[in-house]
Amino acid sequence: MSLGLPGHLAPHSESRAFARASHVISFVILLADILIILSLQSADTERILWPAAVAILPIIAVLWLLERYRSWFYTLTYLIVGTASVFWLVLAGTGQFPEQSTTDSLVFTLPKIALILVGGAGIGAPKAIGWSVVGYVLGEGAALLAALQTGATAAFDVTAFGVLVVSTLLFTVIGVSRRRVYTAQPSLQRAARDEHLSDIRHRIEVRAAAMLHDTILNHLAAVAASPDGELRHDLQGRIERDLAVLVGEEWLVSPDREESAADRAGWVTSRMFRAIDEARELGLDVVLSGDRSAVLRLDAQRQLAVGLAVKQCLVNVLKHADTDHAEVVIYGSDTEVSVMIIDGGKGFSERENSVDRLGLRQSVRRRIETVDGTVQVWSTPGTGTSILIRLPACDSVADPEPVS
């Protein structure tokens, strides 16, 4: 069960949803218990039952704090205060009806259920079930202790135990379905990665086909129109320059913005160039493709961030991918610059490997997020890794700031 969310977001989103639902249900249950006690008090004015209603107020207050500031501290506080409230409630209620009261009465059962439902605040089925069991044990223990002091009958609370069983089954089913979703994630990740790579290659192929078509036709037409004998020097020089462009990487530059000498100088002095150059010096064969000048559409801070992030990604290829080949693809639009680092190494699973060890959390993901960028990782053991970094481009790139 993933609610259509990505695998890394689904557990937290589902947990928040179930926690909020359990808090709302607990609040309604506790409020209903107060109303029941007050109705009993109004029907029998000779007995003092209002302290039992007051006993429920502290747990409602802590429940509000738990919903507002969800944390381990407030969860434990909720259990502690809730246990004390159940003890106080049973003590006050059975003290007025020592011979007729039992610990499985509805008035005493409702707060126990509220304690059990705190299990909805746990991320993952084992934690959620653990919280529910702890809430059940504490609620039953408090009721039993209060009954021993007032002489009331201690009875097995079938309703509270039934709620515990239903909660356990529910969280178990959720946990099993979540594991099934995880098994499908690698296939979805590979499909998304292949789709993105296909789009990049399609754009490059279309540009290359148009350039080849225009260049070859122009050259054939010029040769056909030339007189017999040796080609003119200017025509020969133009053909040689175009052949150099075909063999080299210049044709990959976006035709929407001609790369000037200042752009080439900016690329050579950029942190991205240094990152790729340093990786090559370390022995990694890095293939660069795409629009290098797109990097210059980033401001100085984002150029530095993406350069350092790419360096970390390439270092990770050397350290962990068991391959000495990687590809860096750069593509830019009017509003965004994308950089993809691809390797055909052994890949990894983020669920089974420490993200800190791979340097993705601090050196890549957080660094890019601090400059309003995003990072996506597609990796499956045995099929390699692709990391897509996306950053918003500057409104103006006429005078890019130098990157140190």
pLDDT tens track, the chain, 404 positions: 444 444 444 555 666 777 788 888 889 999 999 998 889 888 888 888 888 889 899 999 998 988 888 778 888 898 999 999 999 988 888 877 766 678 888 888 999 999 988 755 555 677 788 888 988 999 999 999 988 888 888 888 899 999 899 888 887 887 776 666 555 555 555 666 667 777 776 666 655 655 564 556 555 655 665 677 676 676 676 667 666 656 555 555 544 444 444 445 578 888 888 889 888 887 889 999 888 888 888 888 888 889 888 888 888 888 788 888 899 999 888 889 999 998 888 887 655 555 444 456 667 888 888 888 999 888 878 778 888 999 998 864 444 444 43
CA–CA separation, 349 and 365 (whole Å): 16
Q: Check if the beta carbon of residue 33 is closer than 8 Å to that of residue 110.
A: yes
CA–CA separation, 297 and 400 (whole Å): 8
CA–CA separation, 60 and 56 (whole Å): 7
Sort strands 385-392 and 374-379 into parallel, antiparallel or unpaired: antiparallel
Alpha helices, DSSP H only, in 226-345? 233-247, 261-268, 271-281, 300-320
Q: Tell me which DSSP letter residue 153 carries.
A: B
How many C-beta atoms surround the C-beta of residue 371 within 10 A? 17
Q: How many helices (H) and strands (E) does the chain have?
A: 13, 5
Please determine, looking at this structure, whether the domain spanning 255-392 carries the CATH number 3.20.20.105.
no
pLDDT at 208: 60
CA–CA separation, 68 and 73 (whole Å): 12
pLDDT at 141: 92
How many C-beta atoms surround the C-beta of residue 56 within 10 A? 24
Backbone dihedral region for residue 151 (phi beyond 0: left; psi -120 to 50: alpha; all else: beta)? left
pLDDT at 9: 45
Output the six-digit token pair for 246.
């075909």
Beta-carbon contacts of 325 under 8 Å, excluding residues fewer than 6 positions away, are 284, 285, 287, 343, 344
CA–CA separation, 279 and 49 (whole Å): 76
Amino acid of residue 3: L
Ranges for all domains in the chain classified under CATH 3.30.565.10: 255-392
Which residue in the block uniquely carries the two structure tokens 């053909």?
239
Calculate the CA 82 to chain-centre distance: 33
Phi, psi of 4 (to 5 degrees): 75, 10
